[in-house]
Amino acid sequence: MTTLRREGHLRDWGHRWPYLTDHISDSMCGLLAGVRDHPPARSLAAIRPREVTDLDIEPHPGWTSADQAKIDRYMSQLELPGLTRTPRAALQAPRFKGWYRYRCASAQCGGHRQGIYDWEWVALQRSLAGRDDARIRAGLRGKFLDEMCAPDRDVIFYVGNQQKHQQSFMVLGLFWPRRRPPLTN
């Protein structure tokens, strides 16, 4: 714990780079091979896609019965005496689910399709709640593909899996600063 250092809010991309640069990988294929061939393997990574090709958006079907049971258990938990908390609110299913389609730097990469589990995905849907489905889809595509994955952005996906589904990685968030200009001599 001697290397642990608490930070406040890191204002801009430049302040965040030093915490990330040593942990970036260009190969999702390599990460998947590691999980397949040497379990248990890494469950979190920062992946720089070679090319983000598309964003799939589909209606969210609502919670499964297993999901709803977890939410119900959370809602029915007893409070500890003497602790004041704000009232609990049940997690609402978003209107849409999304998946990034991309290729990593592996020469044999046939492409990846990974679900988006970024809190910003749901937060944006909530802010667009009064709009029709087509406008929400356009808003999601505009932010998550056209802006965050624009050609002038150095996109890095934070990916993770779960112990029960080690081969199924999901996008947990993005780091998307403007590309740095090439160094010249």
Report the pLDDT value the prediction gives residue 99, as an integer from 0 to 100: 98
Task: Give the alpha-carbon dihedral of 50, 44, 21, 148, to 10 degrees.
Answer: 50
- Select, from the ranges 11-15, 55-59, 91-95, the one with the highest average predicted confidence (pLDDT): 55-59
- pTM given for the model: 0.84
pLDDT confidence of 132, banded at 50, 70, 90? very high
Are 27 and 112 in contact, with CB atoms under 8 Å apart? no
pLDDT value at 85 more than 80: no
Report DSSP letters for 129-161, one per residue. Answer: TTS-HHHHHHHHHIIIIIITT-TTB--EEEEEE
pLDDT in tens, 25-74: 889 999 999 888 887 778 889 999 999 999 999 999 999 999 899 988 98
pLDDT value at 134 more than 70: yes
pLDDT confidence of 183, banded at 50, 70, 90? low
The residue type found at 104 is: C
Q: Which fold has domain 16-74+89-175?
A: OB fold (Dihydrolipoamide Acetyltransferase, E2P) (2.40.50)
Better pLDDT: 90 or 165 = 90
Portion of the chain with pLDDT greater than 90, in percent = 56
Give me 135's structure tokens. Answer: 């406008």
| Mean pLDDT, range 75-98, rounded to an integer | 83
Q: How many residues does the chain have?
A: 185
Cα dist from 68 to 74, 75, 94, 167, 169, whole Å: 10, 10, 14, 25, 23
Hey, CA dihedral for 16, 18, 20, 24, is it positive or negative?
Answer: positive
pLDDT in tens, 108-129: 999 999 999 999 999 999 999 9
Rg of the chain in Å (alpha carbons):
19
Hey, CA dihedral for 140, 25, 35, 33, is it positive or negative?
Answer: positive
The SS3 of residue 108 is coil
Report the pLDDT value the prediction gives residue 92, as an integer from 0 to 100: 87
pLDDT value at 160 more than 80: yes
Give residue limits of the domains in the chain.
16-74+89-175
